[in-house]
Structure 1
């Protein structure tokens, strides 16, 4: 029987689409057959979670746990099969998940940025046309460099 004894994040890295939960010694331990095994960062040492879907993505990574000289390896898919692991992981990652309003706000910001870029480019093209009409060669070359 395997249960999670303790799960704390050593460090959390927030990226645009992912949350990376970095693990370290003494922050993660499991109880296997009534014996506490401490996490050791031999192979995998972080958990990748998709911020939108809230799913763990590195399911094939192997995590090592040690008790004395005995080392036990468990894959992320084995760990995610443990309800207490998922509960503790969700508690850690909850503040970093994207909610629908955040996604909508980001989409609106992207649309606004695209529109501003388009308007700036059109304005630059008008200024180039104006410099051609006025036969202003230096203005023309400096504006073309900005395209």
Structure 2
């Protein structure tokens, strides 16, 4: 049995068609037969989602996971069969999907929506930095939810 222990993007890249979730060490781990395996970027290192259809595009990608000297490979096709993987994935990229009202705005509207989303995320990061500087733990925990 495979379960996703943690799935966090190293960073997210967007364009008009796709959301790319780039993965790195310590940001993605799975549990297989009660053993923790950490993602290692020796093959695939990104998940590519279609912004319109909300589906994973690179289903043929192979991800490597390591526990000690043991390396296990899981394909994206296998990972998307795991409900906890899909749930975490959609919670990460949900705000990047193109909604119907954005679709009707055309190319210029989509680009504007992307810029607005990026500015909103940058603003949240600045507010998090401010909360850290002021040692405001409550504000920090509240703002982390928006990333």
TM class, shorter-chain normalised?
0.7 to 0.9
| Counterparts of residues 65-104 of structure 1 (less than 5 Å) | 65-104=65-104
Greater Cα radius of gyration, structure 1 or 2: 1
Q: Distance in 2 between matches of 1:108 and 1:73?
A: 40
The equivalent of 2:126 in structure 1 is none
Per-residue CA distance 1:2-51 (angstroms, 9 max, x = gap): 00000000000011110000000000000000000000000000000000
Q: Map of 1:1-147 to 2, 5 A cutoff?
A: 1-106=1-106
RMSD: 1.5
- In structure 1, the gaps of 5 or more residues are 111-147
Contact 2:20 2:49 survives alignment (8 Å): yes
Q: Aligned residue pairs: how many?
A: 110
Residue 106 of structure 1 and its aligned partner are, at CA, apart by 1.6
Distance between the aligned counterparts of 1:40 and 1:108, measured in 2?
38
Gaps of 5+ in 2: 111-147
- TM-score for both structures, normalised by structure 2: 0.72
Deviations 1:65-114 (CA, angstroms, capped at 9, x unpaired): 0000000000000000000000000000001000000000126869xxxx
**Residue aligned with 2:87, SS:** helix
Superposition TM-score, scaled by structure 1 size: 0.72
